[in-house]
Amino acid sequence: MQLFHSALSLHLPNMADTPDSLHSTQRDAAIIDPHLPEGYSAEPEALVSDPVQADTRSGVSESHEESSLMLQGGDIHRDIYKIKARANAPRRAATFSGLHPRDFDEEQPRAEEILQPGGFRRQHVQRNHTDAPGLRRRLSRAAVPVTRNFIGFLELYGDFAGEDLADTDTDDESAIDDDERRPLVDDHHERPTERRPLLGKRKSTRRLKQQGDASTTKTFFTLLKAFVGTGILFLPKAFRNGGILASSITLVMVSLITSLCFRLLLQCREKCGGGGYGELGEAIVGKRFRSVVLASITLSQLGFVCAGIIFTAENMYSFFQAVLKTRDLPIGINTFIALQLILLIPLALIRNISKLGPAALLADVFILIGVVYIWQYDIRSLAEFGVNESVQLFSPSTFPLTIGSAIFTFEGIGLILPIQSSMKQPEHFSKLLYLIMFIITCVFTSIGALCYATFGEFTKIQIISNFPQDSKLVNTVQFLYSLAVLAGNPVQLFPAVRIVETSLFGEKATGKRSATIKWKKNMLRAAATVLCGLVAIVGASDLDKFVAIIGSAACVPLVYIYPAFLHYKGVAETRGEKAFDIAMMLLGVVAMGYTTLVTVAQWVT
């Protein structure tokens, strides 16, 4: 099979040498290039040894790239380097037409799909997934909609909120080496040799503005994954705080207002061109506003990590109580928080976001298992015993906590812009976004309302603890839920630490060439993780109030205030549009101030 794969690699590029395949190859190379070490290549002229050769005629030494086979495990990851090599390879003339797409069987894999690392094996598995030819292709698209291959994961999560978070020093203001701008004869009147290329080597730009290739189906599942996270776990207690009717109305209203703010942000991007959230702020307002946006993103991400650490600690505490059948454990919540740091600190040191992909996928699977179990248990319980007698329609004293928790749950603005950029037809993104918001609103409302209707005033923040603790299935779901939140914390922490690193050390500072910078970054990442642990210890006494504060203080500006302000400054022209933007900003400021103050007051008292 390996020999056949090698043969395919030799012959398929000629078949795939069309404008569409060229665009796809260059796009994949641009995504993967920042994550490859410098000085190595899969191009045929790459040296197998002696990376520096001397030209005896001129006395000038020139540096060449070494073969990637010189690296440890070079034969295993050779296909990854071939992606970049194919993008730099000579191309056929533009008059080459190739085979018309209609000449190919729709069920057959395309050449560029086979050329992906592991593509031959992936296509074999997908083709044998089912015997139904019509169903096979639909399942292959929906089975792994987000991470069909690791390049898609790099593209989505390597640019959180549209910001370039890659840890690399290959970026430069110019895309061409200094060699390209040198005169033919230098100050010493030494002419370059024939080995010098006419054009200098192209460097990877900070981010190439290229059209995405994600289908509507893939974007649908990507958006669904972006919103359905650990925030859904806090909704049952939020419904208990606000009442079943008031909380349901609040969740629907927050969903509608959030959708409007997403629309404002997309309109800003449409008028100002591409770019991420921070870049939009810089283009419309100035550099300081970009710093404000990135600071808010950092604060919200760190808040999510803190909430996840607390939830995991409390859930694991309840899990061991049920398994050991005792109410008094020798260790407390704070100890479980400290134990998590032993795992989180090494994960925080990971530089490549793609390595966190399995953890994120594992978290999604575990969350799905928990949600399905909650649905079936609540429905069976309500059908047998009815609604709990302690359920209230409205609880005015603790209602502000519901507002903050609802905002926390719907916060997904950081992935809106990069997901839109990944679409092949971005003009369809708005309709797809509204459909997703409708679906997740139904899911969120059903989870919160069903759990509160089932358990009433006994609803706990770690909702799995409400289910029968003598059931092994419940214990398994509880443990998987804890692992889901724990596995998702490094992914949440990654954008925050990269933003802080960039502000402290600059965009080009990297540990690839400086051990000092590397260890400074390691210390910063470890310190950020420990800080989250310390904040989690403080907030562990009241997790629902802590989540409400994060939603009110950190998420409200990102979702409600900043998009309206950017729309007011850069897009709004009529009085009606400006009045709407001002009203949205005032609503955000009032909601942030009121819910934060009330939550802090309740926490203190």
H helical segments located in 506-574: 515-539, 543-549, 556, 562-570
- Highest mean pLDDT of the ranges 140-154, 506-520, 569-583: 569-583
Range 512-526 average pLDDT: 84
More confident residue, 306 or 27: 306
- Residue 399 tokens read as 């209602």
Q: 196-218 pLDDT, tens per residue?
A: 554 444 444 444 445 566 778 87
Terminal CA-CA length for the chain: 69
3-class DSSP assignment, residue 55: strand
Residue 591: pLDDT over 50: yes
Buried b / exposed e over 30-53, threshold 16 CB at 10 Å, is: bbbbbbbeeebbbeeebeeeeeee
Q: Can you give the residue ranges of every domain in the chain? A: 2-51+63-143, 216-505+512-604
DSSP conformational letter for 190 = P
**Which residues are within 8 A (CB) of 564 and not within 5 positions of it... i.e. 6 or more apart?**
261, 264, 580, 581, 582, 584, 585, 588
User: What's the confidence (pLDDT) of residue 173?
Assistant: 34
Q: In the CATH scheme, what is the homologous superfamily, with its name and number, of domain 216-505+512-604? A: Hydantoin permease (1.10.4160.10)
Report residue 502: phi and psi, to 5°.
-65, -40
**The whole model's pTM is what?**
0.64
* Amino acid (1-letter code) at residue 493: L
Report residue 387: phi and psi, to 5°.
-75, 140
Residue 280: pLDDT over 90: no
Contact 342, 530 (CB under 8 A): no
Radius of gyration (Cα) for the chain, nearest Å? 27
The count of residues in the chain is 605
Q: 2-14 pLDDT, tens per residue?
A: 433 443 343 334 4
Please report where in the chains the tokens 């640019």 appear, as a residue: 159
- Residue 524 tokens read as 């910063």
Residue 74: pLDDT over 80: no
Report residue 408: phi and psi, to 5°.
-60, -40
Q: Burial level of 501, CB count in 10 A (0-12/13-18/19+)?
A: buried
Q: What is the distance between the alpha carbons of residues 128 and 15, in angstroms, rounded to a whole number?
A: 25
Longest dimension (CA), the chain: 94
H helical segments located in 228-276: 235-242, 244-272
Contact 310, 509 (CB under 8 A): no
CA 337 from centroid of its chain's CA atoms: 24
Q: Within 10 Å of residue 346's Cβ, how many Cβ atoms?
A: 13
* Amino acid (1-letter code) at residue 23: H
Q: 90-138 pLDDT, tens per residue?
A: 666 555 444 444 444 555 666 666 666 667 777 777 666 544 444 444 4
Report residue 396: phi and psi, to 5°.
-65, -30
